[in-house]
Amino acid sequence: MKQVYKNFTLIVALATSVVLSSATLRAPGLKLADIRISKGVSKAVHPGCSQKTLISTFGKPVQIKKYNFETDDKMGYVIIYDGANFYFEDKGLMDFEITKPGFNLTFGHPEVLSAVGKSIAILPSGFDVKCRDNKCAKVYDLKRADNVTTDRFLEYDYGNSNQKVIKKIILGGY
């Protein structure tokens, strides 16, 4: 009976350790409200900002066109710059794709500055790494200010597991 109790205690201790370590890995969580996008030394914009704010911050875009958000079955707009696309619904900036150096993304406390062309080593732990077809990405589920997980994610594409340089930054939804 003592051996069964010892084995049970060991299993409970190991399970608790795994749960605590995975919780620590993700704590406190990247919050959607902490994300800021800047270009050069310009002011920053954030998810939810208006089209007017984006354009006044980054200047005249290459193109503005209608965009169909298929998952929400809504129409919106995509504002296209050289190196980045910004997708707007009626609620403001919903998604973006940064594909070239020049746009910076900052988040977190302490603040992390990331950009296309920078090393993935600057990214904090807690990202899920997903590789398929010789392409890898670090994906982070975003939280609200009250720490509740949202349906939004931040993704860093960086090629294969030997290439450790950011190729694309995406804010999107599931």
Q: pLDDT by residue for the chain (174 residues), tens digit each?
A: 555 444 434 343 333 333 333 333 333 478 899 999 999 776 899 999 999 999 999 999 999 999 988 877 889 999 999 999 999 998 899 999 999 999 999 887 667 888 999 988 888 777 778 888 878 888 888 998 888 889 999 999 987 767 788 999 999 988
CB 95 within 8 A of CB 171: yes
Helix (H, G, I), strand (E, B) or coil at 9: helix
Residue 82 neighbours by CB under 8 Å, 6+ apart: 62, 100, 102
Helices (H) and strands (E) in the chain, counts: 2, 11
Task: Give pLDDT, residue 3.
Answer: 52
Q: What is the pLDDT of residues 51-96, one digit of tens each?
A: 999 999 999 999 999 998 887 788 999 999 999 999 999 889 999 9
Residue 115 neighbours by CB under 8 Å, 6+ apart: 98, 101, 102, 103, 104, 105, 166, 169
> Domain-by-domain residue ranges, the chain?
1-27, 31-173
CB 120 within 8 A of CB 163: no
